[in-house]
Structure 1
Amino acid sequence: MHLLAAKPGGFVDEEGIIDLDQSPADIVILTAADSQLAALSAGLAHSKLLQQGLGQMPSVRIANWLQLLKPAAFDLYEEKVLKHAKVLLVSMLGGRNYWPYGFERMCEWAQSSGRVLILVPGDDSPDPQLCSASSVSSEVHTLLWRYLRESGSANSTELLHFLGAEYFSLPWQWREPQILPRAQLYKPASKYSQATFEQWQQQWSEDAVNYPQPGSSSAATVALLFYRSHLQSANTAMFDQLIAQMRVAGLKPLPIAIASLKDAESIALVDLLIERAGVKLILNSTGFASNRSQAPELSSQPSEFISPFAAQIPVLQLILSSSTVEDWQDFSQGLRSRDVAMQVALPELDGRITTRAISFKGASHRDSAAQVEVVRYQLHNERADFVIELAKKYLALSEVANRDKYIGLILANYPTKDGRIGNGVGLDTPNSCVNILNALAGDGYALGHELPENGNALIEQLLQSVTNNPNTLHYLGCWQSLDVDVYRSHFDKLPKASREAVTARWGEVNQDHKFRDGRIMIAGIRLGKIFVGIQPARGFNIDLLANYHDPDLVPPHSYLAFYFWLRHVYKVDALVHVGKHGNLEWLPGKGLGLSEQCWPDIAMGPVPHFYPFIVNDPGEGAQAKRRTQAVIIDHLMPPMGRAEIYGEMAELEGLVDEYYQALGMDSRREDWLREQILQQVQSTNLIDELNIAQCSDA
């Protein structure tokens, strides 16, 4: 066991304990929310405790108790800091059960004479157990709880003034907690961080002049939802930058600070503003879910999904990582378990589309008075641009006429044999693809040609040109291909490490098995503006069966060329991978919160993605949803039925049935049937499987 310095976001290394390296103080305030730490730090800076000329003032320490979860870490902090404190105020998110060791040690700490312990809930739900464990009256307990829940710099200052007056006999006046609205329209660099709807309309008018978008008649309005706690802690710089990037990209952001998606007042304002502004898409940065999973004993019952929003529009889930950007870059899984639970798994219950981690926690500055690193969210500009581009493409799906949309339908091919094209598990993928084509034609999409009559006809059309079959690549025709120079122009934009990995594994582009006459062949057919393609193999000259799920095998040039052609040449508006499952979601990279160096991002990029997937495999469905921003469209398992027998075996069964009925009734027919049965057993080679050396009438 070794000591570690504290890190932003409350990250705790599994191999050591945290030393917050604070000196003793009179007042100690612990919380699990970095937003509260920032607000308390700002409140302390404006309080009388730091004013010069007022004599000896009580000292204050502020810390994140998530860094004290390990008993040894808390014991160290108790010895160095708490042992000398008079007042200990703790905001306990999760109550006693979440931190039982800390709860017990703090209660024991309070037994010494002259010490004051106040344990308040870390949310808006009362906790009688915390109140009874505190050494103050219920009125004082409620007052201090409300200071922390309303938060903000002003409330934090008044909180400290109350503690100074109440427990250190300082002649100070203090005010009751000021209540922040449950929800409000936010505007950067405005008084009280609030704006009227008319002010935002004026901003949009100015943006239309300052940021003209070529080929776009008018910008689309996008709601941006975030917790009001960011306002309370003045932690809005990241959102200000995101709003600025959205405006430059030609979007009309409508930022709304809310208490929660479960808060009726917040949802009412959001629905009103969405309707009034004509919002077409929501970027949501709040965690958790408004829907709840049903009890396991009700799993056989239909589940009821209720969207928290009145408008039926896409909701893209932004991930605000609680880790540092360095931790994200170094961690192969991308996101820590806390972020996976609160910002991925639970939001999925609301049907939100998982995107990328766009911000990370980082140290803003060190508060020398409170001896704490003030942590704020910091925007990752490249990842934010990825999500903004994805949002723009989703908006285009609602704005562009169906006849002008280009759609790609991708069929898996595993293993890479022609007989396995469109091999979706539990799904007749070729016929389903034809059904999708017919549905698109019925909705006005431009398919142009006469559609395949059925799945077999579709496969026959695909087999007329190149597939993934290496034995036919040298002589079959190809309906589309990508010029090598065009490919290189996109390949050269990739991170250097990614380019080198492809070249080291597969050589130069002209060594690829689908390279022909200066072009890379693309397997598939075009039906008007709808492309039906065969997903490329993850490699060639290797055991593809063993490497289909290989987490380290980088894709070859022809794989990248397939998706580059779809994105940059054919310029698809959306992709549909039909049936479980393709190989895109298994390419190397982070498990969640992908970076620009992760191969699913490199190949497909920020494209709307829809994925019909069998309902009984949520694990692999989640892989596609979380790594390739897929909207999973579940389909049921195929109905079970008797396999029965057919052909020669059915004839043999009929003869055996007749023979049984003829026994003792008609000896001549009985003998004839016996001969027919023996002949059938021999002609079908069933006699070999029965391990009978010789058949005889005897």
Structure 2
Amino acid sequence: MHVIFRESHGLDATETPVDLDQSPADLVVLSFSDSDLGAFAAGWHLGKRELPTLRLANLVGLKHPLSVDTYIEKTLSHARGILIRLIGGKSYWDYGVQQVRALAAEKNIALAILPADGRVDAQLDEMSTLPVSTLRRLCALCDTGGAEAARAALGQLALAAGLYVKPSFGPKRLPRVGAWTRENGVICPAQVACRIDKKPLVAVCFYLSYLTAADLHPFEVLSQQLKEQGFDVIGLFAPSLKEPEAARWMARQIRHLTPVAIVNATAFSGIGGDGTSPLDAGDVPVFQMMLATSRRKDWQEAERGLSPADLAMHVVLPEVDGRLSGGVGSFKQPSRRDPDLEFSRFAHQGDPERIKALVDRLAAHVALQTKPRNQRTTALVLSTYPGKEWNMAHAVGLDALASAQALLADILADGHAISDVDNLTNRLKSNYLHWDVEAYMSALASLPVTLTKTLFDVWGPPEDDPAFNGGHFAFRALRCGSAIVALQPERGSVATRDADYHDTARTPRHSYVAFYLWLRKTCHVDALIHIGAHGTLEWLPGKSVALSEACWPEALIGDLPVIYPFIVNDPGEAAQAKRRIGAITLGHIPPALKQSATPDRLAHLENLLDEFSNADGLDPKRRDRLQEDIRSEAQALGVEDDLGLNQATSTAEAITRIDRFVCDVKESQFGDGLHIYGRLPETKLDFDAAIAVQSERDGLRKAMSGRRVQAGPSGSPYRGRSDVLPTGRNLFTTDPRSVPTRSAYAQGVKLAEELVRRHLQDHGDYPRHLVV
């Protein structure tokens, strides 16, 4: 039995007959690769005046034999030269290769069928009609990539077909590493380093493959918008940030160019064998621009925002490097049909709206580097984690009020105009700041209509809000010089406070919306410090990641830098803040654990819940397996009985209630006292707390100065995770060094066994070789 390898080219791959309906041309290039076709399109436009006419087509549309026959009749039969680039050999497009070979032999057409994997394929050589020497030259040009090489390949094909073409001069091979600008293409980095006007420089890092595929539209849009904001821009490209030579080059350029910020469009983590990323060399914030492989329409309709693959590549693993979320910058979709080539390429299309949001966020962080500290306005917002109505500033493992006092003292020492910091607790009980409804309604007009309509549908007019009185909203807040200290308002009704806190479907009420608009539109806050795990802003309705302007978290926080002291042992919920409000989550020491049997019994259940939080959206199959494991563990511990859950309870409700229960138990029973951010605990700990609290203060200082904050793992230092020390680093939630977990290992075993069983069933023998 023969198993034919097939590739699915996205969701649109189909074997239904289609008619590409292209008119004849002198040359035709066919490939399964969008990058190939994009480079040939760009190359043809470079030499448009000298090159013969050209048609381009993706072989995805020519899978069905009837599609092949129709295309041969309408287009290929009139061509003088045909170039086909295949991954996987002749069997990859067997019927098409045979029919095109027969056509070329009959009509004396120059035919080059080339491998796209960098290896010689004697079978494809035999099916071609050109000399091997010509095929090797064409292969070398195609493997080089880029518009110039594609232009030269078209010229070579034209000559082989008996069509005269003027030779193209100049380099055909792109450097492996280099610099790029929207105006001049590939340049020497020194040209930017010697710029005359010396505007603040932003470095944009991307893969060499985007250049070889002429797939640069996202970077062109980004460059234009950065320049409109007053920045200079340089693109830096490399094949990989982990290739040692390329990494060293990238780090040298960043140190030499001294950018004020970096936008990174490479995927995964860039940390090499020495434990550092070349992007760390600038000591500036690095914003991760997500290049989605989905179409914009799919993203608009998806609650998760990104596919599991995009989530892993552009969100989860880049967080290990400490990169800040820049949001989605492009979508992969068809461009406008090129009338000259009768071809619409499938490529990354930069999204101006989303890129503007990234640029605004970057500019707000950069402003912290230059704006005098005594002229800045800082908001300190205190969590009111669900408890009783009379709880004030109640955070997990953190004394929020004492921490606010400590943070005010720290930023005062750094030169901020802070005053009146005494007796915060009593003053917050009775002090209110007000905002009139006319200003609110004016600011509300800046939000998307879909959000304001929902707001009024759910909550009615502003006058019905419990915090509204006498024509204005009253916020429990006070001014301490240039700082505003406030309690985070209720997002919903007091009666359903506990249920509303994590409800990602519950629309916030008017006074909540007004509070954040007031901070941005009237107070003109430069940075927001949210004190303590955790708030409600990151739990508002909207996409899980890659948010849009119609998602409540982004609509309210806008481009405001968010600095978020967060308990270091709660990675799942820190991820919400990082991914949905772009927060810098500064880990802080958790309270020392009490000696109790309860934490040991619930430890495995808590680990399963944390793992479920990471797997949700990233690995649906593992998520489903974890749901079963969580419920089984909860049943074995008697947790489901305590919560009144039964077999009829939906899995989603059960997981939510079990998670809430574990969070409540962890907070109320495990912690011994509360930590004060950046201050030594009174209790003697098993590690050097002095280094940790100094690191907490340093992390806050760097974040408030618009500098890079080093990334750090999450976990409990009391459970053997000494690597989470010192605290004060920007938390990441998934550490590649700590995988696989037990559940992931079990899932891997199951998949491996199924693979071997299927191979044994199909072939009667065990597999001898395997590529993963």
CA distance in 1 between counterparts of 2:192 and 2:237 reads: 16
Structure 2 residue aligned with 1:575: 528
Query: C-alpha displacement at 1:396, in angstroms?
Result: 1.7
CA distance in 1 between counterparts of 2:100 and 2:191 reads: 58
CA distance in 2 between counterparts of 1:461 and 1:382 reads: 42
Distance 1:19 1:367, change over 3 A: farther
| Matched-pair identity in % | 29
Distance 1:342 1:642, change over 3 A: closer
> For 2:281, what is the secondary structure of its paired residue?
coil
CA distance in 1 between counterparts of 2:49 and 2:232 reads: 43
CA distance in 2 between counterparts of 1:38 and 1:434 reads: 57
CA distance in 1 between counterparts of 2:592 and 2:83 reads: 63
CA offsets 1:615-640 (integer angstroms, 9 cap, x no match): 44433322221111112223455433
CA offsets 1:512-556 (integer angstroms, 9 cap, x no match): 110122211112333333333211222126523222222322211
> For 2:282, what is the secondary structure of its paired residue?
coil
Does residue 1:154 correspond to 2:163, yes or no? Answer: no
Check conservation: 1:131, 1:141, Cα contact below 8 A: no
> For 2:150, what is the secondary structure of its paired residue?
helix
Structure 1 residue aligned with 2:229: 249
Check conservation: 2:17, 2:64, Cα contact below 8 A: no
CA distance in 2 between counterparts of 1:634 and 1:91 reads: 50
CA distance in 2 between counterparts of 1:262 and 1:131 reads: 30
> For 1:372, what is the secondary structure of its paired residue?
coil
CA offsets 1:61-114 (integer angstroms, 9 cap, x no match): 53175x89xxxx67886776699999774465xxx7xxxxx9854479778995
Structure 2 residue aligned with 1:204: 197
CA distance in 1 between counterparts of 2:461 and 2:586 reads: 38
The amino acid that maps onto 1:528 is G
Match of 1:22 among 3, 20, 32: 20
> For 1:413, what is the secondary structure of its paired residue?
coil
> For 1:373, what is the secondary structure of its paired residue?
coil
> For 1:239, what is the secondary structure of its paired residue?
helix
Check conservation: 1:334, 1:590, Cα contact below 8 A: yes
Match of 1:607 among 560, 582, 592: 560
CA offsets 1:26-85 (integer angstroms, 9 cap, x no match): 9663244x3432211243564899737xxxxxx8653175x89xxxx6788677669999
Distance 1:105 1:358, change over 3 A: closer
Structure 1 residue aligned with 2:507: 554
Does residue 1:37 correspond to 2:37, yes or no? Answer: yes
Check conservation: 2:52, 2:158, Cα contact below 8 A: no
Matches within 5 A, 1:306-455: 306-367=277-338, 372-415=343-386, 417-451=388-422
Check conservation: 1:220, 1:395, Cα contact below 8 A: no
Matches within 5 A, 1:190-269: 190=184, 193-194=186-187, 197-198=190-191, 202=195, 204=197, 219-236=199-216, 238-263=218-243, 266-268=246-248
Check conservation: 2:138, 2:153, Cα contact below 8 A: yes
> For 1:323, what is the secondary structure of its paired residue?
coil
Matches within 5 A, 1:103-182: 105-106=92-93, 118-121=114-117, 135=125, 144=138, 146-162=140-156, 178-182=172-176
Check conservation: 2:43, 2:147, Cα contact below 8 A: yes
Query: C-alpha displacement at 1:224, in angstroms?
Result: 2.5
Check conservation: 2:563, 2:584, Cα contact below 8 A: yes
The amino acid that maps onto 1:51 is P
CA distance in 2 between counterparts of 1:487 and 1:514 reads: 13
The amino acid that maps onto 1:256 is L
CA distance in 2 between counterparts of 1:17 and 1:612 reads: 53
Structure 2 residue aligned with 1:5: none
> For 2:344, what is the secondary structure of its paired residue?
strand
CA distance in 2 between counterparts of 1:616 and 1:172 reads: 66
Structure 1 residue aligned with 2:622: none
Check conservation: 1:613, 1:632, Cα contact below 8 A: yes
Query: C-alpha displacement at 1:143, in angstroms?
Result: 5.1
Check conservation: 2:177, 2:238, Cα contact below 8 A: yes
Distance 1:220 1:341, change over 3 A: same
RMSD, aligned CA = 4.2
Check conservation: 2:207, 2:237, Cα contact below 8 A: yes
Check conservation: 1:437, 1:451, Cα contact below 8 A: no
Distance 1:634 1:108, change over 3 A: farther
Distance 1:117 1:451, change over 3 A: farther
Distance 1:441 1:12, change over 3 A: same
Distance 1:505 1:75, change over 3 A: farther
- TM-score, length basis structure 2: 0.63
CA distance in 2 between counterparts of 1:233 and 1:241 reads: 17
Query: C-alpha displacement at 1:405, in angstroms?
Result: 2.9
The amino acid that maps onto 2:315 is V
**Stretch of structure 1 that moved more, 36-45 or 573-582:** 36-45
Structure 1 residue aligned with 2:183: 189
Does residue 1:281 correspond to 2:255, yes or no? Answer: no
Matches within 5 A, 1:529-678: 529-540=482-493, 543-635=496-588, 637-643=590-596
Query: C-alpha displacement at 1:164, in angstroms?
Result: 6.2
Distance 1:30 1:518, change over 3 A: same
> For 1:510, what is the secondary structure of its paired residue?
helix
Query: C-alpha displacement at 1:599, in angstroms?
Result: 0.6
Distance 1:48 1:575, change over 3 A: closer
CA distance in 1 between counterparts of 2:580 and 2:132 reads: 49
CA distance in 2 between counterparts of 1:186 and 1:310 reads: 19
Structure 1 residue aligned with 2:442: 489
The amino acid that maps onto 2:520 is R
CA offsets 1:543-574 (integer angstroms, 9 cap, x no match): 23222222322211100111112222332221
Query: C-alpha displacement at 1:140, in angstroms?
Result: 7.8
Does residue 1:12 correspond to 2:11, yes or no? Answer: yes
The aligned length equals 568
The amino acid that maps onto 1:12 is L
CA distance in 1 between counterparts of 2:584 and 2:484 reads: 19
The amino acid that maps onto 2:116 is V
Structure exhibiting the larger radius of gyration computed from Cα positions: 1
Query: C-alpha displacement at 1:144, in angstroms?
Result: 4.9
Query: C-alpha displacement at 1:424, in angstroms?
Result: 3.0
CA distance in 1 between counterparts of 2:123 and 2:570 reads: 47
> For 2:490, what is the secondary structure of its paired residue?
coil
Distance 1:553 1:164, change over 3 A: same
Name the one with the larger helix percent: 2
Check conservation: 2:50, 2:166, Cα contact below 8 A: no
Check conservation: 1:107, 1:133, Cα contact below 8 A: no
Match of 2:58 among 54, 57, 63: 63
Match of 2:460 among 507, 517, 542: 507
Check conservation: 1:12, 1:18, Cα contact below 8 A: no
Check conservation: 1:223, 1:254, Cα contact below 8 A: yes
Query: C-alpha displacement at 1:17, in angstroms?
Result: 6.3
Q: Which runs of 5+ in 2 are unaligned?
A: 1-7, 103-111, 598-772
CA offsets 1:197-229 (integer angstroms, 9 cap, x no match): 456755636xxxxxxxxxxxxx53222233444
Query: C-alpha displacement at 1:18, in angstroms?
Result: 7.1
Distance 1:549 1:91, change over 3 A: farther
The amino acid that maps onto 2:269 is A
